[in-house]
Chain A
Amino acid sequence: MTAASANDIEFRSVTKRYGSVTAVTDINLTVPKGAFVALLGPSGCGKTTCLRMIGGFEQPSEGTVLIDGREMNGVPPYRRAVNMVFQHYALFPHFDVEQNVAYGLKQARPKLASSEISARARQALEMVRLGGFEKRRIHEMSGGQQQRVALARAIVNKPSVLLLDEPLAALDKKLRTAMQIELQTLQRELGITFVLVTHDQEEALSMSDMVCVMNAGRIVQMAKPQDVYDKPADLFVADFVGKTNRIMATVEADGATLRLSNGTALPAGSGLKPGVATVALRPEAIELARQAGRDGGVLAGTVTHRIFLGSTAEYQISVDGLGDFLVTADRRSVQESDLVEPGERVVLTFDPGKVHVFPA
C-alpha cells in the first residue's frame, strides 16, 4: 500500500466510451478527503458515468481513477472502500429493512458476530432516524423512508467515500429540502467524503463545498459554490447555474470598453480580447428605478411582466435596443417602495464590475 493520500479520489485524464458513444472525455478531478463535492450538469453529460467509475461498475477506457492514492483499474466494486446510494435506491425486496442494512456487514471476512451485525445495523438506522422500522418490508416504506434505508445501508460499512446518484430526485420539494439538511449533517458527523450527483443547481450550490460543473462529457468548472455562481467559467456555467441575462456586445480595441449592441458603452475591467463577446449579467445584479425620479441609468426599458415573490419580485423588462431582460428586485431597492407596474418605464443600473464578459 502506498502512503495515505490527501485526496480520496483522483481522475487522471479519464475517458469513457460505450461503443461509439463517448460518455466522458479527458476528465481530471481531485476530491480532497472529507469534501462534499457535487457533480452538476444537464442530463446525459456523464455524471453517472463518473460515479460508476469510482464505484467500480465501469472501467475507464483511458486514464486512471485513484481512490486514496491507489490506482483502481480492474478492481471490482466489492474490493473498493466506497459505497453508493443508487438513484432508485436498489433496495433488496426480499429482505426487511434491517436485513438490507445488515447486508454489507454480513459480507465482512472474517465474519462478524451476529450480535455486532445487528447492533451496527440498528445504529445506522438510528443515524437516519429510522429506529423502530427494522422489521418493516421495503414495499411498506414511503419513498423518503426508502431513501434513508438506502443511506443507512451505504454508510453501515463505514466507507471512506459515499457516492450519491441523484438521491433526492424522486422526493417532493419539502422532503428534499429536509433531506438536504440531513445529508449535510450526516456528512459532518461521519467526516467522510461525499460525492453527490445532481442536475439540480440549487441542490449542488446549497449542499456542497465544491461544485464540479459538467457539460457534454467534460468538466467545465470546478470551484466553490459561490465562485461558480459569481465567477462562472463560461457562458454555459453562467446559464446553467442560476439565471442570467445575455447581451451581445463588442470589446473595443482598447480592451477595456464594452459596447453593447444597442450602442451603450461600459467600462469593463481591462485586458479583454477585442472583438465580439457575450455579456452575462445576473438578474439580481441589476437595480431598477422609475425613470421619473432618476437619471444616469445605463439602460432604459419598459416593464412587460411582473412575478411577485413576496420579499422580491421578478420583472421581465423590454430594454430599448437589447430585448428582454430578467431583473430580480428587492422591494426596498425600488424607489417609492411600491412595486413597479407592467407598462411603466424604468431605468436599469448595475455595477460594471458584476458583468461577465465571454469572448464569442
Chain B
Amino acid sequence: MPLAPDRKRQLTTAALVAPAGLWLFVFLVLPFMAMVVFAFGERAPEGGYQAAFTFAQFANLPSRAAAFWNTLMIAPIGAFLCLIVAYPVAYYLAIKSNPKYRLVLVSLVVVPFWTSLLVRTYAWMYILGSRGIPNLLGMIGIEDVRLLNTPGAVLLGIVYGYLPLMIMPIYVSLEKLDRRLLEASADLGAKPVSTFFGVTLPLSLPGVMTGVALVTILLLGEYLIPQLLGGGKVFFIGNALVDLFLQSRNWPFGSAIAVTLVVVVVIVLSVAMRIAWKVSGSRQVDLV
C-alpha cells in the first residue's frame, strides 16, 4: 500500500535525523541527565558520587567565582579580539586577493590545524616564558618582563588558536557577496569606506555572528590554553572541572559547576541571539 506523501516525508526526515539524534541522546542527553543527578548529590568519603538530595553543591559555587569570572570575561573578549584580527584577513582573501591564488591562500589559513594545538601552545609557552621574549628583552636592558601566566598570554593563545575558526565563516559570507552590489554602491556615489559600512559589513554579518558564536562557545569549555599559558593564575571553568573530577574527585561539585555553566551559556546565548536577530535578522535575506 503506497504511503501518503506527507507520511512519507515524515519517515524520510526521521531516517535522516535518527543516527545523529541517537548519538546525541546517548552521548549528550544521558550524560547531562547523569550530571544533573550528580549535582544534587554528595561526595562519597573516598571520592566520587554518593546519592543524596542537597543544594549544598550549588551553595558552594561562589568558591569558584574566579573561574566563572575568567571564563565569562575572557571567552567573549577573546572571541572579539579574534574577530578584529580575522575580519581584515577574511576580507582580503575574499575580495582583494587575486582569484588565481585565492584557494591556495585560503588553505594556508587552515594549515596550522595540521599540527595539534597542544604542540603549538607549548611553543608559545616557550616563546613567552623566561627563556623566550623576556630573555631577549633582558639583553637590551629591559628586565623582569613577565608574559607567561598572564591574562594577556591566555588571550594571545586564544586568538592564535581560534583564528582559523573565525576567518572561515566570515570568508564564506564575504565570498558569496554579490560584487555587483559593491559596484552599485560605488555607482551611487559611495566612497569605499561608505560602501564597506553600508553594504559589505551588513551583508557579512551572518558570517560574523557564526564565527563569534562558534569561537565563544568553544572558548567557554577551553582547558588547554589557560592551563599552559595561564599557569595556575588564569584558570577557566574547564580547569576547575579537571581539578574537581580528577584531583579532588568531588564529582557532585564538579557536576554542579558544569550544569551551571551550561545554564548560563544557554541564557547568555539566547539573549545574544535575540539581540543579534533584532539588529541583523532583517538583513538575512536571500540574495536573489
The majority secondary structure among interface residues of chain B is helix
CB pair A77–B183 under 8 Å, yes or no, is: yes
Mask: chain A, 134-167; 1 = CB below 8 Å from B; 0 = not = 0001110000000000000110010000000000
Cα distance A57–B182 in the bound complex, in angstroms: 11
Q: Does B112 contact A (CB under 8 A)?
A: no
Q: Does B96 contact A (CB under 8 A)?
A: no
Cα distance A157–B184 in the bound complex, in angstroms: 13
Q: Does A59 contact B (CB under 8 A)?
A: no
CB pair B286–A93 under 8 Å, yes or no, is: yes
CB contact between A76 and one of B184, B186, B202 (< 8 Å): that residue = B186
Q: Which of the 9-residue segments A10-18, A83-91, A181-189 touches chain B?
A: A83-91
Task: State how many angstroms separate the Cβ of B132 from the closest Cβ of chain A.
Answer: 46
- In this complex, how many residues of chain A approach chain B with their Cβ under 8 Å: the count is 27
CB pair B189–A104 under 8 Å, yes or no, is: yes
Kindly list chain B residues whose C-beta atoms are within 8 Å of the C-beta of A174: none
CB pair A94–B202 under 8 Å, yes or no, is: yes
Task: State how many angstroms separate the Cβ of A194 from the closest Cβ of chain B.
Answer: 15
Kindly list chain A residues whose C-beta atoms are within 8 Å of the C-beta of B178: 90
Which residues of A57-102 have CB atoms within 8 Å of chain B's CB atoms? 57, 76-78, 82-84, 86, 88, 90-94
CB pair B181–A107 under 8 Å, yes or no, is: no
Mask: chain B, 113-152; 1 = CB below 8 Å from A; 0 = not = 0000000000000000000000000000000000000000
Q: Does A103 contact B (CB under 8 A)?
A: yes
Kindly list chain A residues whose C-beta atoms are within 8 Å of the C-beta of B285: 93-94, 137-139
CB contact between A94 and one of B184, B187, B189, B203 (< 8 Å): that residue = B203
CB pair A103–B188 under 8 Å, yes or no, is: yes
Q: Does A292 contact B (CB under 8 A)?
A: no
Cα distance A76–B185 in the bound complex, in angstroms: 12
Mask: chain B, 181-205; 1 = CB below 8 Å from A; 0 = not = 1011111111100100011001100
CB pair A88–B180 under 8 Å, yes or no, is: yes
CB contact between B180 and one of A77, A86, A103 (< 8 Å): that residue = A86
Task: State how many angstroms separate the Cβ of B10 from the closest Cβ of chain A.
Answer: 29
Cα distance A84–B185 in the bound complex, in angstroms: 10
Which residues of B26-76 have CB atoms within 8 Å of chain A's CB atoms? none
Cα distance A82–B186 in the bound complex, in angstroms: 11
Mask: chain B, 88-126; 1 = CB below 8 Å from A; 0 = not = 000000000000000000000000000000000000000
Kindly list chain A residues whose C-beta atoms are within 8 Å of the C-beta of B181: 90, 92-93
Cα distance A305–B198 in the bound complex, in angstroms: 59
CB pair B286–A104 under 8 Å, yes or no, is: no
CB pair B194–A92 under 8 Å, yes or no, is: no
Cα distance A139–B288 in the bound complex, in angstroms: 7
Cα distance A347–B218 in the bound complex, in angstroms: 87
Kindly list chain A residues whose C-beta atoms are within 8 Å of the C-beta of B186: 56-57, 76-78
Cα distance A83–B203 in the bound complex, in angstroms: 23
Task: State how many angstroms separate the Cβ of A65 from the closest Cβ of chain B.
Answer: 15
**Known interface pairs A86-B180, A137-B285; A92-B199 also in contact (CB < 8 Å):** yes
**Known interface pairs A103-B198, A137-B285; A78-B189 also in contact (CB < 8 Å):** yes
User: Which of B189, B194, B199, B203 is most buried by chain A, counting CB atoms within 10 A of its CB?
Assistant: B189
Kindly list chain B residues whose C-beta atoms are within 8 Å of the C-beta of A138: 285, 288
Q: Does A21 contact B (CB under 8 A)?
A: no
**Known interface pairs A78-B189, A153-B188; A94-B282 also in contact (CB < 8 Å):** yes
Cα distance A55–B180 in the bound complex, in angstroms: 13
Kindly list chain B residues whose C-beta atoms are within 8 Å of the C-beta of A90: 178, 180-181, 183-184
Cα distance A90–B288 in the bound complex, in angstroms: 9
CB contact between B288 and one of A55, A93, A104 (< 8 Å): that residue = A93
CB pair A92–B180 under 8 Å, yes or no, is: no
CB pair B202–A157 under 8 Å, yes or no, is: no
CB pair B188–A107 under 8 Å, yes or no, is: yes
Kindly list chain A residues whose C-beta atoms are within 8 Å of the C-beta of B191: 78, 107
CB pair B288–A103 under 8 Å, yes or no, is: no
Q: Does B283 contact A (CB under 8 A)?
A: yes
Kindly list chain B residues whose C-beta atoms are within 8 Å of the C-beta of A157: 188-189
Q: Does A1 contact B (CB under 8 A)?
A: no
Cα distance A157–B183 in the bound complex, in angstroms: 16
Cα distance A57–B184 in the bound complex, in angstroms: 10
Cα distance A93–B286 in the bound complex, in angstroms: 7
User: Closest residue of chain B to A102, judged by CB?
Assistant: B188
CB pair B199–A77 under 8 Å, yes or no, is: no
Q: Does B20 contact A (CB under 8 A)?
A: no
Q: Does B16 contact A (CB under 8 A)?
A: no
Cα distance A96–B282 in the bound complex, in angstroms: 10
Cα distance A45–B131 in the bound complex, in angstroms: 67
Kindly list chain A residues whose C-beta atoms are within 8 Å of the C-beta of B4: none
Q: Does B15 contact A (CB under 8 A)?
A: no
Which residues of B160-193 have CB atoms within 8 Å of chain A's CB atoms? 178, 180-181, 183-191
Task: State how many angstroms separate the Cβ of B48 from the closest Cβ of chain A.
Answer: 55
Q: Does A3 contact B (CB under 8 A)?
A: no
Q: Does A108 contact B (CB under 8 A)?
A: yes
Q: Does B287 contact A (CB under 8 A)?
A: yes
CB pair A78–B187 under 8 Å, yes or no, is: yes
Cα distance A146–B191 in the bound complex, in angstroms: 25
Cα distance A184–B38 in the bound complex, in angstroms: 78
Task: State how many angstroms separate the Cβ of A213 from the closest Cβ of chain B.
Answer: 26
Cα distance A108–B178 in the bound complex, in angstroms: 24
Kindly list chain B residues whose C-beta atoms are within 8 Å of the C-beta of A57: 183, 186-187
Which residues of A40-57 have CB atoms within 8 Å of chain B's CB atoms? 55-57
Task: State how many angstroms separate the Cβ of B287 from the closest Cβ of chain A.
Answer: 5
User: 3 tightest A-B contacts by CB?
Assistant: A104-B188, A107-B189, A90-B180
Q: Can you give 6 A-B contacts (C-beta < 8 A)?
A: A86-B184, A93-B283, A94-B285, A106-B198, A107-B188, A157-B188
Which A residues are closer than 8 A to B by beta carbons? 55-57, 76-78, 82-84, 86, 88, 90-94, 103-104, 106-108, 137-139, 153-154, 157
